[in-house]
Amino acid sequence: MDFMKEYEKWLASPALSDAERAELEAIRSDPKEIESRFYGPLEFGTAGLRGTMYTGLHNMNIHVIRWATQGFADVITAEGEEGKRRGVAICMDCRNHSMEFARAAAEVCAANGIHVRIFESLRPTPELSFAVREYHCQAGINVTASHNPKEYNGYKVYWEDGAQLPPHHADAIARRLGEIDIFRDIKTMPYDEAVSKGLIEILGEETDEKFLSHVMAQVNDRETVAKVADTFKLVYTPFHGTGHKLIPEALRRLGIRHLICVPEQMVIDGDFPTVVSPNPENPEGFALAVELAKKEGADFILGSDPDADRVGIMVKTKSGEFKVISGNQTGVLMLDYLIGAMKRAGKLPEKPVMLKTIVTTEMARKVAEVNGLQSFDTFTGFKFLAEKKDKLESTGEGKVIFSYEESYGYMFGDYVRDKDAVTASLMLTEMAAWYAAQGMTLADALDALFEKYGYYAEKTCNLVMPGLDGLKDMASLMKSLRENPPAELSGVKVAAWKDYQDGSVVDSATGARSQMELKGSNVLRFEMADGTSVIVRPSGTEPKIKVYILTQGKDAADAQANVAKYSKWVDTLKK
C-alpha cells in the first residue's frame, strides 16, 4: 500500500472532522509517523482489532470501527434473515472513546438491518459473552483493549456460542475488509433513529441480574464463608474499570461483610490516573490496594483489569508483607480447591475435565491427574478453550469444571465462553475464606500444594518490539528459530522441538519427525533434557515476543535456579 496516497485520501475525505484533519496535517512533515499510521490496515484476527487511538488506517478510530463493523455485518448478513434477526450484542469498557465506538458499531449494524442489543453503559467482558448466549444472538462486539495502556482501544468480535470469533469467520471478515472502501462502502444510521425503529435495544440491570444468578450458582460453600465473615477482610480494586459494580455485588451476595474497595480506583477513568498500567499482572498497580490492606488489616487483595475478564491476587505473608500469586499459581490453587469443594458439596460431575493452554504450568496437569481429572491443552486464547469444552461435552467425553491460562484468565460454568473475572473473583474469595477457616492464608495454601504435588516454577519473558521495525524483528526472530533450532539452551541439550505451525515434532538426537494433534499457530516449543519446556510465540495483542519458561525442581530454590538459568538464554534473544 502507498502510505502517502492513503494519507492524502484520508485528508481529502469529508468523513473526517476538523479535529481529525488538523491531527493529520500536524504530521505532514513526519514521513515516518505517516508511514506508521497508513502503511496498511490493522490486521483483523480471531481477537478482532487492537491499536493506539489516533487518526489513521493502522489505528483505532471511529472510521476503522465503522469499516470493521461493515465487514462483520456482511458476514452476519450472509447467515440470512435469521442471522440478522438474532442480531448482535454490543458492550464497551471504560476506555476513552469506548462508548462512542460502541454506538458507531451499533449504527452500522442497524443500517444493515441487523438487530442490536447494546448495554446502556460499560460492562464486564464476560457479561457480553453471556448476553450473546442468553439472547441467542448471532454475534457479539466488545469495544475494549483489556489491560493494555491507556493509549489503546480494541474491537473484539464473538460468534453465537459466546466465544471469540473462530478462525474461518475471522478470515471471512478480513477478506471482506480487503474489498470494501473505508469511507465509501459504509452503511450507517443515526443512533436515535435506529432506537426509535426498534433496530437498537438497550440492555441494563435486567441482564446484570440474569448474569449474576448464574455467577452465584457457582458457589460451593456459603457455610464456611459465613463462619469467618466477621473477621475475614479483603481489599478489591477494579483499576478504574468495569468490575466496579458487579464484582463487589457478587462478593456481598456471597456473604462478605468486610469488603474494602480502593476508593481512588473505583472511579471510572480511561486515563487510569493511579497506575502506570491497569494490568493485574503488574504488582506496581496494587500499591494503593496494599497500603489500604495494611491499614485495614486485610489478608487478601483482588484486582480485576479494566474489562473485568482477568483478575490478579496478592496475599499477606507471615512477615506482614503482601506477596503476588502468579496466574499459574492462582489457577493451581483454584483447581485444587474447586475439586475438593465440589466433592464436599456433591457437585463434582462424572468424567471431570480441566483445560489449560500450552503455555500454562504443568503443575495444573499434575493436580488434575492426581485427583482423577482428565487434562487437555489448547492454544493460547479462550476461543480455543471454549471450542475444546464444547467438543468434549457434546461428545460425552467429559465435563469441564475449570479452564484457565497463565495470564490471569479463568472460566467456570456453562454461561460464558471467555475469561471471567466476576466469577473468578467470587471463587477466589470463597477459597480464601475457606483457607482462613483452616487458619491458613493462600500463601500457606500454595506452600502446601508444592509439598503435595512438587515444586514447579514459571516465568514469562517479554521481548518488546514496537513499531513497524518491531513487526519485522518479530517475524525475523521466529523465522531464525524455526530454520535454525538451537541444539542447547543455557548449556542444557534440547531433547525435542515442536513447531505448532505445522504440528511437527523433531527428536533432536535422531532427527526423527512425528506429528502432534495441535497445529496452526505460530508457536515453537523446546523440550529440554532436564524436563523444562521453553515456549516462544509472538503476542496476539501487543508488539512483543513472549517466551515462557515452565520448569520444576527438587525444591523451590532448585526450581527458581532453573528459571534463572533459562532466562539467561532469553536475554541473548534481545541482542
Provide the grid cell at 344: 464436599
Of the listed 36, 98, 146, 407, which one is catalytic? 146
CA angle 141, 146, 152 (to 5 degrees): 95
Task: Give me the count of residues in the chain.
Answer: 575
Distance CA 565, CA 557 (A): 12
For residues 416, 387, 381, 433, the Cα torsion angle rounded to the nearest 10 degrees is 40
Q: What is the DSSP letter of 178?
A: T
Asked about 146 being catalytic, the answer comes back as: yes
- Residue 100's identity, in one-letter code, is E
Question: What letter would DSSP give residue 148?
Answer: S
**Which parts of 292-351 are beta strand (E)?**
300-304, 311-316, 322-325
Please list, in sequence order, all residues whose beta carbon lies within 8 angstroms of the beta carbon of residue 253, skipping any fewer than 6 positions away. Answer: 212, 216
- Cα gap 270→201, rounded to integer Å: 25
DSSP state of 122: -
Contact (Cβ atoms closer than 8 angstroms) between residue 312 and residue 278: no
Contacts of 296 (CB under 8 A, 6+ apart): 233, 235, 258, 260
Strand partners, 58: none
Are 310 and 431 contacting, i.e. CB atoms less than 8 angstroms apart? no
Pairing of strands 300-304, 233-237: parallel
Phi and psi at residue 540, to the nearest 5°: -85, -10
- Contacts with 98 (C-beta within 8 Å, 6 or more apart), sequence order: 92, 122, 143, 144, 153, 270
Catalytic residues, by residue number, are 146
